[in-house]
Amino acid sequence: MTMMLIDGQLREKPKGSDGQHHQLSSDIRNWIEADSTAPFPAEVNRYHLYTSHACPWCHRVMVMRALMGLENVISVSEMHPFRDDTGWRIDPALFDETAGVPKDTFLYEAYLRANPIHTGPISVPLLIDKKTGQIVSNNSADIMQMLNKSFGAFAGSSADFYPAELAGQIDQLADYIQTHVNSGAYKAGFASTQAAYDEAVRALFDALDVLDQRLERQRYLLGDSLTEVDWKLFVTLIRFDAVYVTHFKTDLKRLSDFSNLSPYLRELYQIPGIAGTVNFQRMREHYFRSHLHLNPNGIVSIGPQVDLSKPHGREHVGVYQKGAA
Protein backbone atom coordinates (compact mmCIF):
# COMPACT_ATOMS: atom_id res chain seq x y z
CA MET A 1 0.00 0.00 0.00
CA THR A 2 1.44 3.38 -1.06
CA MET A 3 0.42 6.41 0.96
CA MET A 4 0.16 10.05 -0.09
CA LEU A 5 -1.10 13.26 1.48
CA ILE A 6 -4.52 14.54 0.50
CA ASP A 7 -5.46 17.86 2.11
CA GLY A 8 -2.88 17.17 4.80
CA GLN A 9 -4.17 13.70 5.64
CA LEU A 10 -2.45 10.38 4.99
CA ARG A 11 -4.45 8.45 2.41
CA GLU A 12 -3.82 5.44 0.19
CA LYS A 13 -2.64 6.34 -3.30
CA PRO A 14 -5.38 5.55 -5.86
CA LYS A 15 -4.63 2.44 -7.91
CA GLY A 16 -4.84 2.17 -11.67
CA SER A 17 -6.94 -0.51 -13.32
CA ASP A 18 -4.65 -1.28 -16.27
CA GLY A 19 -2.00 -3.28 -14.39
CA GLN A 20 0.65 -0.69 -15.16
CA HIS A 21 2.77 1.33 -12.72
CA HIS A 22 2.00 5.06 -12.69
CA GLN A 23 4.22 7.49 -10.80
CA LEU A 24 2.76 10.57 -9.16
CA SER A 25 4.38 13.78 -10.33
CA SER A 26 6.59 15.83 -8.00
CA ASP A 27 5.08 19.26 -8.45
CA ILE A 28 6.76 21.64 -5.97
CA ARG A 29 9.15 23.53 -8.20
CA ASN A 30 10.65 26.72 -6.78
CA TRP A 31 14.20 27.73 -7.69
CA ILE A 32 17.40 28.67 -5.86
CA GLU A 33 19.27 31.48 -7.62
CA ALA A 34 22.72 33.01 -7.30
CA ASP A 35 21.05 36.45 -7.00
CA SER A 36 21.06 37.51 -3.33
CA THR A 37 17.72 39.31 -3.81
CA ALA A 38 15.91 36.23 -5.14
CA PRO A 39 13.17 34.56 -3.05
CA PHE A 40 15.51 31.58 -2.58
CA PRO A 41 19.08 32.91 -2.78
CA ALA A 42 22.07 30.57 -2.75
CA GLU A 43 23.63 30.61 0.72
CA VAL A 44 25.82 28.30 2.78
CA ASN A 45 23.87 26.09 5.23
CA ARG A 46 20.47 27.56 4.32
CA TYR A 47 19.11 24.52 2.50
CA HIS A 48 18.53 20.92 3.57
CA LEU A 49 17.98 17.75 1.57
CA TYR A 50 15.90 14.78 2.63
CA THR A 51 17.23 11.86 0.64
CA SER A 52 17.57 8.07 0.47
CA HIS A 53 20.45 5.86 -0.62
CA ALA A 54 17.82 3.51 -2.04
CA CYS A 55 16.09 5.94 -4.39
CA PRO A 56 17.65 6.51 -7.83
CA TRP A 57 16.06 9.96 -8.13
CA CYS A 58 17.68 10.93 -4.82
CA HIS A 59 20.93 9.35 -5.90
CA ARG A 60 21.35 11.61 -8.92
CA VAL A 61 20.92 14.65 -6.66
CA MET A 62 23.53 13.31 -4.24
CA VAL A 63 25.87 12.63 -7.16
CA MET A 64 25.58 16.27 -8.23
CA ARG A 65 26.14 17.46 -4.64
CA ALA A 66 29.33 15.41 -4.54
CA LEU A 67 30.56 16.44 -7.99
CA MET A 68 30.08 20.14 -7.20
CA GLY A 69 31.70 19.87 -3.77
CA LEU A 70 28.61 21.04 -1.88
CA GLU A 71 28.77 18.61 1.03
CA ASN A 72 29.49 21.44 3.49
CA VAL A 73 26.98 23.80 1.88
CA ILE A 74 23.78 21.72 1.88
CA SER A 75 22.94 19.49 4.85
CA VAL A 76 21.24 16.11 4.54
CA SER A 77 18.81 13.81 6.35
CA GLU A 78 18.88 10.17 5.27
CA MET A 79 15.80 7.97 5.13
CA HIS A 80 15.71 4.56 6.82
CA PRO A 81 16.01 1.86 4.13
CA PHE A 82 12.79 0.15 5.24
CA ARG A 83 9.65 2.00 4.15
CA ASP A 84 6.29 0.84 5.47
CA ASP A 85 2.71 1.99 4.84
CA THR A 86 3.39 5.29 6.60
CA GLY A 87 5.97 6.19 4.01
CA TRP A 88 9.58 7.23 4.35
CA ARG A 89 10.95 7.23 7.90
CA ILE A 90 13.93 9.45 8.76
CA ASP A 91 16.81 7.31 10.04
CA PRO A 92 17.50 8.44 13.62
CA ALA A 93 20.87 6.69 13.64
CA LEU A 94 22.13 8.99 10.88
CA PHE A 95 20.40 12.19 11.98
CA ASP A 96 22.72 15.21 12.06
CA GLU A 97 21.95 17.23 15.19
CA THR A 98 23.85 20.20 13.72
CA ALA A 99 21.79 20.36 10.51
CA GLY A 100 19.27 22.85 11.90
CA VAL A 101 16.10 20.89 11.15
CA PRO A 102 13.60 19.28 13.54
CA LYS A 103 14.20 15.64 14.43
CA ASP A 104 11.08 14.27 12.74
CA THR A 105 10.13 10.62 12.66
CA PHE A 106 8.47 10.56 9.25
CA LEU A 107 9.13 12.49 6.07
CA TYR A 108 5.49 13.55 5.77
CA GLU A 109 6.03 15.72 8.87
CA ALA A 110 8.43 17.92 6.86
CA TYR A 111 5.82 18.30 4.12
CA LEU A 112 3.08 19.22 6.61
CA ARG A 113 5.28 21.71 8.45
CA ALA A 114 5.68 23.62 5.17
CA ASN A 115 2.03 23.20 4.15
CA PRO A 116 -0.49 21.70 6.61
CA ILE A 117 -2.96 20.96 3.78
CA HIS A 118 -0.46 19.57 1.28
CA THR A 119 -1.77 17.20 -1.39
CA GLY A 120 0.73 15.02 -3.25
CA PRO A 121 3.20 12.17 -2.93
CA ILE A 122 5.45 11.93 0.13
CA SER A 123 8.53 11.75 -2.02
CA VAL A 124 12.26 12.22 -1.83
CA PRO A 125 14.41 14.04 -2.71
CA LEU A 126 12.94 16.97 -0.80
CA LEU A 127 14.81 20.28 -0.66
CA ILE A 128 13.74 22.73 2.03
CA ASP A 129 14.70 26.26 3.01
CA LYS A 130 15.69 26.16 6.68
CA LYS A 131 15.32 29.94 7.03
CA THR A 132 11.68 30.18 5.89
CA GLY A 133 10.54 26.59 6.44
CA GLN A 134 9.29 26.45 2.86
CA ILE A 135 9.78 23.60 0.43
CA VAL A 136 11.97 24.64 -2.46
CA SER A 137 11.48 21.55 -4.62
CA ASN A 138 10.79 17.85 -4.69
CA ASN A 139 11.68 17.57 -8.37
CA SER A 140 15.02 15.77 -8.72
CA ALA A 141 15.81 17.14 -12.18
CA ASP A 142 15.33 20.72 -10.98
CA ILE A 143 17.41 20.11 -7.86
CA MET A 144 20.24 18.68 -9.97
CA GLN A 145 20.31 21.82 -12.08
CA MET A 146 20.21 24.11 -9.05
CA LEU A 147 23.18 22.32 -7.51
CA ASN A 148 25.00 22.48 -10.85
CA LYS A 149 24.42 26.18 -11.52
CA SER A 150 23.22 28.19 -8.53
CA PHE A 151 25.93 27.64 -5.91
CA GLY A 152 28.94 28.64 -7.99
CA ALA A 153 30.28 31.04 -5.36
CA PHE A 154 30.30 28.27 -2.74
CA ALA A 155 30.95 25.16 -4.84
CA GLY A 156 34.17 23.22 -4.67
CA SER A 157 34.10 22.65 -8.44
CA SER A 158 33.65 24.86 -11.49
CA ALA A 159 32.39 21.99 -13.66
CA ASP A 160 29.21 22.48 -15.68
CA PHE A 161 27.16 19.36 -16.37
CA TYR A 162 24.42 21.26 -18.18
CA PRO A 163 26.23 23.46 -20.74
CA ALA A 164 23.93 25.76 -22.70
CA GLU A 165 25.13 24.47 -26.06
CA LEU A 166 24.06 20.92 -25.18
CA ALA A 167 20.91 21.73 -23.19
CA GLY A 168 18.49 20.68 -25.93
CA GLN A 169 20.28 17.36 -26.52
CA ILE A 170 20.55 16.70 -22.78
CA ASP A 171 16.83 17.29 -22.26
CA GLN A 172 15.81 15.15 -25.22
CA LEU A 173 17.97 12.19 -24.23
CA ALA A 174 17.06 12.57 -20.53
CA ASP A 175 13.36 12.31 -21.43
CA TYR A 176 14.07 9.13 -23.37
CA ILE A 177 16.07 7.61 -20.50
CA GLN A 178 13.49 8.64 -17.91
CA THR A 179 10.63 7.06 -19.85
CA HIS A 180 12.27 3.87 -21.08
CA VAL A 181 15.03 3.12 -18.55
CA ASN A 182 14.63 4.87 -15.18
CA SER A 183 10.86 4.54 -15.01
CA GLY A 184 11.02 1.53 -17.34
CA ALA A 185 12.58 -0.67 -14.67
CA TYR A 186 9.81 0.28 -12.24
CA LYS A 187 7.13 -0.34 -14.85
CA ALA A 188 8.45 -3.88 -15.22
CA GLY A 189 8.88 -4.47 -11.51
CA PHE A 190 5.51 -3.14 -10.44
CA ALA A 191 3.47 -4.53 -13.34
CA SER A 192 0.50 -6.51 -12.06
CA THR A 193 -0.39 -8.29 -15.29
CA GLN A 194 1.71 -10.45 -17.59
CA ALA A 195 0.90 -8.22 -20.55
CA ALA A 196 2.02 -5.07 -18.73
CA TYR A 197 5.22 -6.78 -17.59
CA ASP A 198 6.04 -8.13 -21.06
CA GLU A 199 5.52 -4.72 -22.64
CA ALA A 200 7.62 -2.94 -20.03
CA VAL A 201 10.53 -5.39 -20.15
CA ARG A 202 10.71 -5.30 -23.95
CA ALA A 203 10.75 -1.49 -23.95
CA LEU A 204 13.41 -1.42 -21.22
CA PHE A 205 15.82 -3.75 -23.00
CA ASP A 206 15.21 -2.13 -26.38
CA ALA A 207 16.31 1.17 -24.81
CA LEU A 208 19.35 -0.40 -23.14
CA ASP A 209 20.39 -1.85 -26.51
CA VAL A 210 20.10 1.60 -28.10
CA LEU A 211 22.24 3.17 -25.39
CA ASP A 212 24.78 0.35 -25.50
CA GLN A 213 25.21 0.87 -29.24
CA ARG A 214 25.55 4.61 -28.73
CA LEU A 215 28.37 4.11 -26.25
CA GLU A 216 30.26 1.90 -28.71
CA ARG A 217 31.29 4.96 -30.71
CA GLN A 218 31.52 7.68 -28.06
CA ARG A 219 32.83 7.75 -24.52
CA TYR A 220 29.82 9.42 -22.92
CA LEU A 221 26.21 9.79 -23.97
CA LEU A 222 26.76 13.13 -25.69
CA GLY A 223 30.39 12.85 -26.71
CA ASP A 224 33.70 13.32 -24.97
CA SER A 225 32.40 15.24 -21.94
CA LEU A 226 30.28 14.08 -19.04
CA THR A 227 26.91 15.80 -18.74
CA GLU A 228 23.89 15.62 -16.47
CA VAL A 229 22.28 12.95 -18.65
CA ASP A 230 25.11 10.48 -17.96
CA TRP A 231 24.35 10.72 -14.25
CA LYS A 232 20.63 10.28 -14.83
CA LEU A 233 21.43 6.97 -16.51
CA PHE A 234 24.11 5.98 -13.98
CA VAL A 235 21.68 5.74 -11.06
CA THR A 236 19.62 3.05 -12.80
CA LEU A 237 22.62 1.16 -14.13
CA ILE A 238 24.20 0.94 -10.66
CA ARG A 239 21.02 -0.73 -9.34
CA PHE A 240 20.45 -3.04 -12.27
CA ASP A 241 22.37 -6.19 -11.39
CA ALA A 242 22.35 -5.49 -7.64
CA VAL A 243 18.57 -5.19 -7.39
CA TYR A 244 16.46 -4.98 -10.53
CA VAL A 245 17.48 -8.22 -12.26
CA THR A 246 16.21 -10.22 -9.29
CA HIS A 247 13.64 -7.99 -7.63
CA PHE A 248 12.01 -6.46 -10.71
CA LYS A 249 12.49 -9.56 -12.91
CA THR A 250 14.42 -7.54 -15.50
CA ASP A 251 16.44 -10.65 -16.23
CA LEU A 252 16.53 -10.85 -20.01
CA LYS A 253 20.18 -9.84 -19.58
CA ARG A 254 22.34 -8.55 -16.77
CA LEU A 255 23.97 -5.17 -17.14
CA SER A 256 27.32 -6.96 -16.98
CA ASP A 257 26.34 -8.71 -20.22
CA PHE A 258 26.37 -5.42 -22.15
CA SER A 259 29.69 -4.78 -23.85
CA ASN A 260 29.60 -0.99 -23.49
CA LEU A 261 27.16 -0.13 -20.70
CA SER A 262 29.03 -2.30 -18.22
CA PRO A 263 32.49 -0.64 -18.55
CA TYR A 264 30.77 2.76 -18.87
CA LEU A 265 29.17 2.15 -15.47
CA ARG A 266 32.57 1.27 -13.98
CA GLU A 267 34.12 4.43 -15.37
CA LEU A 268 31.45 6.65 -13.82
CA TYR A 269 31.65 4.80 -10.51
CA GLN A 270 35.41 5.36 -10.39
CA ILE A 271 35.15 9.15 -10.76
CA PRO A 272 36.29 10.75 -7.46
CA GLY A 273 33.44 11.21 -5.01
CA ILE A 274 30.96 8.91 -6.71
CA ALA A 275 31.64 5.64 -4.88
CA GLY A 276 30.81 7.46 -1.66
CA THR A 277 27.26 8.07 -2.91
CA VAL A 278 26.65 4.33 -3.47
CA ASN A 279 25.45 2.14 -0.61
CA PHE A 280 24.46 -1.30 -1.92
CA GLN A 281 23.49 -2.59 1.50
CA ARG A 282 20.88 0.14 2.05
CA MET A 283 19.70 -0.08 -1.55
CA ARG A 284 19.09 -3.79 -1.37
CA GLU A 285 17.57 -3.69 2.10
CA HIS A 286 15.05 -1.10 0.93
CA TYR A 287 13.89 -2.86 -2.21
CA PHE A 288 13.77 -6.40 -0.88
CA ARG A 289 12.25 -5.53 2.52
CA SER A 290 9.92 -2.66 1.62
CA HIS A 291 8.17 -4.06 -1.47
CA LEU A 292 6.46 -6.92 0.32
CA HIS A 293 3.88 -7.31 -2.44
CA LEU A 294 6.82 -8.40 -4.63
CA ASN A 295 8.81 -10.20 -1.93
CA PRO A 296 6.35 -11.23 0.83
CA ASN A 297 8.93 -12.74 3.19
CA GLY A 298 11.31 -9.79 2.94
CA ILE A 299 14.27 -12.01 2.13
CA VAL A 300 17.27 -10.05 0.83
CA SER A 301 19.07 -11.98 -1.89
CA ILE A 302 22.77 -12.62 -1.42
CA GLY A 303 24.23 -11.35 -4.67
CA PRO A 304 25.59 -10.68 -7.13
CA GLN A 305 28.94 -9.26 -6.11
CA VAL A 306 30.08 -6.89 -8.86
CA ASP A 307 33.64 -5.56 -9.02
CA LEU A 308 33.23 -1.94 -10.06
CA SER A 309 36.87 -1.11 -9.34
CA LYS A 310 38.42 -3.13 -12.16
CA PRO A 311 39.72 -1.18 -15.19
CA HIS A 312 37.01 0.12 -17.48
CA GLY A 313 39.09 0.53 -20.63
CA ARG A 314 36.94 3.38 -21.94
CA GLU A 315 39.87 5.74 -22.61
CA HIS A 316 40.13 4.56 -26.20
CA VAL A 317 36.48 5.12 -27.15
CA GLY A 318 35.99 7.73 -29.86
CA VAL A 319 34.39 11.12 -29.30
CA TYR A 320 30.91 12.16 -30.37
CA GLN A 321 30.17 11.94 -34.06
CA LYS A 322 27.92 14.69 -35.36
CA GLY A 323 24.60 13.33 -36.49
CA ALA A 324 24.86 10.10 -34.47
CA ALA A 325 21.62 8.64 -33.21
Domains contained in the chain, CATH given: 3-149 (3.40.30.10), 164-316 (1.20.1050.10)
Q: 88 labelled as ligand-binding?
A: yes
Contacts of 277 (CB under 8 A, 6+ apart): 59, 62, 63, 66
Of 172, 301, 299, nearest in space to 243 by CA: 301
Q: How far apart are CA 98 and CA 77, in angstroms?
A: 11
Q: How far apart are CA 204 and CA 187, in angstroms?
A: 9
Q: How far apart are CA 42 and CA 162, in angstroms?
A: 18
Catalytic residues: 55, 186
pLDDT in tens, the chain (325 residues): 678 999 999 999 877 656 564 555 558 999 999 999 999 999 999 999 999 999 999 999 999 999 999 999 999 999 999 998 889 999 999 999 999 999 999 999 999 999 999 999 999 999 999 999 999 999 999 999 999 999 999 999 999 999 999 999 999 999 999 999 999 999 999 999 999 999 999 999 999 999 999 999 999 999 999 999 999 999 999 999 999 999 999 999 999 999 999 999 999 999 999 999 999 999 999 999 999 999 999 999 998 888 999 999 999 897 433 333 3
Helix (H) or strand (E) holding 183, with range, is helix 183-189
Per DSSP bridges, beta strands 3-6 and 75-78 are unpaired
Which is it for the CA torsion 79, 81, 87, 91, positive or negative? Answer: negative
What pTM was estimated for this model as a whole?
0.93
Q: How far apart are CA 189 and CA 20, in angstroms?
A: 10
Contact criterion met (CB below 8 Å) for 151 and 70: yes
